[in-house]
Amino acid sequence: MNNHWNDLYTPKYFWKGTKGRKSRIFVDACCPLTGYYIDNCILDPIYQFLKSPTENITFDCLMNECLDSFFRACRDDMESTRTLEHFTEESNANGWEYLSDGKPFN
């Protein structure tokens, strides 16, 4: 185990009806930092290193990989918000309607 286990993995949560409980055995690695999917992109180099550690990877190198992965994910996320598909999904999800000239329908 490492000193950062609780930061990288959260206890899996189980529900039965309206009652929930945290597992003492199973862990979840899904978005442990902020709850946003980019958490997985940030931590992926660390998870890969923990699965198969190598001698030639330094802490600085690992942190640079995490930052590169984070910035790539942010760029991709921003670019995806500028597509017609994203606009259509947002409009449908929020019930926005427009006239043929592009003005919002009230």
Two tokens at 91? 């409009």
**Category of 27 on φ-ψ map: left (φ > 0), alpha (ψ -120 to 50) or beta:** beta
Residue 41 lies in a domain: yes
pTM beyond 0.85, yes or no: no
- Residue 24 confidence (pLDDT): 78
Does 102 map to a domain? no
The first and second tokens of residue 51, run together, are 């699965």
Tell me whether residue 96 is in a domain: no
- Split into its structural domains, the chain has a count of 1
101: in domain: no
Q: Is residue 104 part of a domain?
A: no
Question: Of all helices (H) and strands (E), which one includes residue 10?
Answer: strand 10-16
For 31, the domain range is: 5-91
The pLDDT assigned to 95 comes to: 93
Domain-embedded: residue 97: no
| C-alpha count within 13 angstroms, C-beta hemisphere, residue 71 | 5
Whether 103 is in a domain gets the answer no
Averaged over successive runs of 10 residues, the pLDDT of the chain (106 residues) comes to 63 84 76 81 89 90 95 94 94 94 88
